[in-house]
Amino acid sequence: MRNKEPKSNVVRRIKKNKVITFEKIVVQNEEKNRYSTLLYLLALVGLTVAAYACYLGYCETRVNTPFNGAKVVGISGLDVPDTYWGTYRPGVYYGMKTRSPYSPVMGLMWYFPQVLHSQGDNIRHWCEQSDNLGRYGWEEHDGKTFGIQTIKDGPFNLVTSFVKRPGGNHGGDWSSRISVTSEKNHGVGQIVSLFFYAALEEKTKGWISPNENFEKKSHTPTGVIGWTEQLGDFTLRYFSRSKIVQHSFLATTVMRLEMLKDALISHLRHRRSDSVATLPGMVQTRNENGAIEKGPNFIITEITGRVPFEIEIVYESKSYYHRPSTLVGEMFDEELAKRRAHFNEKFDSVFKLKDHGNWNKTQSKFAQVVLSNVMGSIGYFYGSSRVISEYNSSPVPYWKAPLFTAVPSRSFFPRGFLWDEGFHGLLISTWDLDMELDIMCHWFDLMNVMGWIPREQILGTEALAKVPEEFVVQNAAIANPPTFFLTIQYILSNFGEDMIDPKRLAVLERLYPRFRAWFNWLNTTQAGELPGTYMWRGRVLLEPSPEINPKTLASGLDDYPRSSHPTSSERHVDLLCWIALGAAALAEVAELISADSTKYKRTFEMLSDDGHIASRHWSDVSESFADFGLHTDSLTLKRPPRKPNTPPHVPPPGMVRFVLEAPHYRYVDSAFGYVSLFPFFLQLLEKDSELLGIILSKLERKDLLWTDYGLRSLSTTSPYYMKHNTEHDPPYWRGQIWININYLAVRALHHYGTLPGPYSEKSKAVYERLRLNVVNNVMKQYQKTGYIWEQYNDRTGAGMGSRPFTGWSSLVVLMMAELY
């Protein structure tokens, strides 16, 4: 059918106006000699149309076409055996998987039968804030070989520890121990049910099966035997030194990995007497002939005991023939003790806390916990984002890819975020440089042919299940602060010597073209109207607008007030500074790998010139740097009147903004806060700049940003300070204290403090005060609440937002160690 359609129709649909001209020509010209012209025109139009359509198609596919050139992740999977298995499922309380695309997943669930709600919503599995656990997190975790986590659930304490052991050709063995105790004898003798499972995704090449023979012989809980393409043959066995009250298992088929807990709940049967649950064993779907359709892909073993209670889980690879003994009981104790001793030594030698303040034992233990939580929050994800560009009418899938990354929060943000990761990289590279390079390589392999990297990475069904629909699609026009340039600068200035190693230099050489493309994408797509100015894309003013001030998600500082009326003539001072920093970082990288750094040096010099920044962003009215744009502060949120004759059950319309005074082009003087300080934060100002002096004199003013707990994000004198931006959105970057930005502030003060000049002494003094305020408060809140938080209250210092947030709030460790 399609082929028979007259060509002109096809043409008409593609490009109307061209066809119309053509038709006119047909009607008006009948002479033969004109015919050749006509044919010529026809060919020309055809070609143009074809080229245009092709161009459209071409543009449409660019958004999900990978960057040209070799991938930067050099070796992966089983070729890096020491990072093959790991706690790479940060979104569950305790779980193991491998660094392969369709890895089997293994993990823990638990509950206390006495307090089980009828729907099973007291079964713990994914880290959920609503579980209201007293605390949970890694006490020690080296990112590679072992970890110890404590979880406080009501009066009970769970400890999940694991130790890996190399051997064989398939990623080695590991053993886990789960022990449950209770505090001050509350709950001793109470019953606890632990569940441990193995599950395969539909696409995993392999099988698992309950190890029932084993159970019959030794009366131990049912384990798992299995085989996968990467792991070969393996076994999972359970041991317990405590008395087991009951054990049972379930082997069944689940559709997707995010449904494991649902599958468990739907098969739990409760004993009447004490509501202890048991599982029914094999539950398989059969076809009409009674044959089992599919083997199980989810096997979960229930082991119930009385507190105090302990089980051990042993994963062994069949390919490890000469295993000295099974890693269980005393062998486990011994191995764990060895790793712990090594971890403690390494911690002392890396952070040298003793040389950087009188941190006592409690305080250095705190630093260790924070570091461990960053290392223990590293995950491995596989899947594809959904993306859109101006050339796509609807979202398209990105290519399938792996991502090795830390996550900001195990409960609330258990996935990769671009600008967070650059901050995480500062701490991770300090602890394990090669692991950080591996993480960076994974991120830069997610770059498309235009040089864009999606901001939020929602890869795989487990990750997707945690994200509201509206945040899933990533737009290719939208940037995010290029904090990986900060990471690479940090690495070069602190571990420059280590980078000269040929293997690492090779990594840097592979990364370099992608760094350049990233920089170039930012430098061109986010450019402002005036030379040397920049603006974040993606600010949208809806009509009517539920927002007082359209958000700037790209900047990472979501609701930080910017100009009230986004236009293409606005300019954002923080972005200019990030781009200048990027140019400086690229110049340094170029020099290290003997590439030409001229262009980046020049760009850096141009953008970081104090006169240039001042000419584009210094406001004499507020005596500070500021954004520029079409702006008014005379705005209010009001509820529009109900439409006449609306039935009473229809809810009243939502509040929308009203403009009381027309906007005009000006500096956004009413928003003094983090954005105003970026030329200082990113150390672009000259050490003897008067503007630096003005900033320093403002820094300590309590009515502006200074608090006893760190710098607040927005001045109390701003009309937007702690104000809702919409009827429903509470303030987010409008006063709260954020640790990543305080790290930048402390780092900048340290920098200006070490440069002899008029502001050196002042910087030094403020440095020490700010550093201690931030560190002491985060520490205090941790001792008090058991958590590191997303942000801190500027009046009380209390933790706010999501928890645990051991992403960039972990930078307190670097402040303690004075690593910048």
Give least dist CB 523 to ligand NAG, A.
4
| Catalytic residue of the set 445, 462, 790, 794 | 790
Residue 544: asked if its preceding bond is cis (omega within 30°), the reply is yes
Choose one: 160-168, 191-199, 360-368, 481-489; the region binding ligand NAG (CB under 6 A).
360-368
The smaller minimum CB distance to ligand NAG, of residues 388 and 527, is found at 527
Minimum distance from residue 518 beta carbon to ligand NAG (Å): 11
Catalytic residue among 558, 591, 605, 700: 558
- Please pick, from the candidates 150, 246, 319, 363, the single residue that binds ligand NAG as defined by CB under 6 A: 363
Which of 114, 129, 284, 360 is close enough to bind ligand NAG by CB under 6 A? 360
Residue 240 or 523: which CB sits closer to ligand NAG? Answer: 523
Of 235 and 523, nearer to ligand NAG (C-beta) is: 523
Segment lying near ligand NAG (by CB under 6 A), choices 204-212, 299-307, 357-365, 692-700:
357-365
The residue (of 203 and 361) whose beta carbon lies closer to ligand NAG is: 361
Rounded Cα distance, 324 and 166, in Å: 12
Q: Which residues pair with 402 in a beta bridge?
A: 382
525 sits near ligand NAG (criterion: CB under 6 A):
no
Footprint of ligand NAG on residues 200-229 (CB under 6 A)? none
For ligand NAG, which stretch binds (CB under 6 A), given 146-154, 355-363, 460-468, 551-559? 355-363
CB nearer to ligand NAG: pick between 102 and 484: 484
CA distance 366 to 139: 9
Which of 28, 36, 119, 362 is in the footprint of ligand NAG by CB under 6 A? 362
Sign, CA torsion 572/573/579/582? negative
- Per CB under 6 A, which of residues 538..597 are in contact with ligand NAG? 583
d(CA 435, CA 439): 6
- Compute the half-sphere exposure of residue 389: CA atoms within 13 Å on the CB side of its CA: 23
According to DSSP, the residues that pair with 618 across neighbouring strands are 625
Question: Could you tell me if 316 and 214 are in contact, meaning their C-beta atoms sit under 8 angstroms apart?
Answer: no
Give me the residues paired with residue 206 across strands.
228
790 in active site: yes
CB proximity list for 105: less than 8 A, separation 6 or greater: 89, 95, 96, 97, 198, 199, 201, 257
Give the max Cα distance, the chain.
106
The number of beta carbons lying within 10 Å of the beta carbon of residue 636 is 11
Our finding on whether 782 is near ligand NAG (CB under 6 A) is: no
How far, in Å, CA of 624 to CA of 695, rounded? 7
Query: Taking the complex as a whole, how short is the minimal distance between the CB of residue 631 and ligand NAG, in angstroms?
Result: 25
Least spacing, CB of residue 571 vs ligand NAG, in Å: 13
Among the candidate windows 393-401, 467-475, 519-527, 543-551, which touches ligand NAG by CB under 6 A? Answer: 519-527
Task: Decide if 768 is catalytic.
Answer: no
Closest CB to ligand NAG among residues 436, 570? 570
Reduced 3-state DSSP string for 683-717: CCCCCCCHHHHHHHHHHCCCCCCEEECEEECECCC
**Which of 159, 450, 527, 614 forms a contact with ligand NAG (CB under 6 A)?**
527
CB of 598 to ligand NAG, least distance (A): 9
Q: Which class for 306: exposed (0-12), middle (13-18), buried (19 or more C-beta within 10 A)?
A: middle
Q: Which is nearer to ligand NAG, 366 or 733 (CB)?
A: 366
In the range 591-610, which residues lie near ligand NAG by CB under 6 A?
A: 599-600, 603
Of 404 and 792, the one with the shorter C-beta distance to ligand NAG is 792
Tell me, what amino acid is at 663?
P
CA–CA distance, 715 with 564 (Å, rounded to integer): 18
Q: Which of 150, 461, 523, 716 binds ligand NAG (CB under 6 A)?
A: 523
Closer CB to ligand NAG, residue 628 or residue 721?
A: 628
C-beta of 432: minimal distance to ligand NAG in Å?
28
Closest separation between CB of residue 359 and ligand NAG, Å?
8
Q: Which is nearer to ligand NAG, 384 or 520 (CB)?
A: 520
Touching ligand NAG, residues 727-746 (CB under 6 A) = none
Q: Which of 602, 601, 671, 597 is nearest to 631 (CA)?
A: 671
- Burial (CB < 10 A; 0-12, 13-18, 19+), residue 641, is exposed
d(C-alpha 624, C-alpha 418), whole Å: 29
**Residue type for position 126:** W
Contact of 63 with 391, CB cutoff 8 Å: yes
Least Cβ distance, residue 363 to ligand NAG (angstroms): 5
The C-alpha atoms of residue 295 and residue 227 are separated, in whole angstroms, by 13
How many residues in the shown chain lie near ligand NAG by CB under 6 A?
Answer: 12
Kindly indicate which of the ranges 261-269, 523-531, 648-656, 794-802 contains the residues binding ligand NAG, using the contact rule CB under 6 A: 523-531
For β-strands 277-278 and 386-388, DSSP reports them as unpaired
361 near ligand NAG, rule: CB under 6 A: yes
Strand partners of residue 416:
457
How far apart are the C-alpha atoms of 646 and 679, rounded to whole Å?
A: 53
What minimum distance in Å lies between the beta carbon of 544 and ligand NAG? 36
The site for ligand NAG (CB under 6 A) is made up of 360-363, 520, 523, 527, 531, 583, 599-600, 603
Catalytic site positions: 558, 790
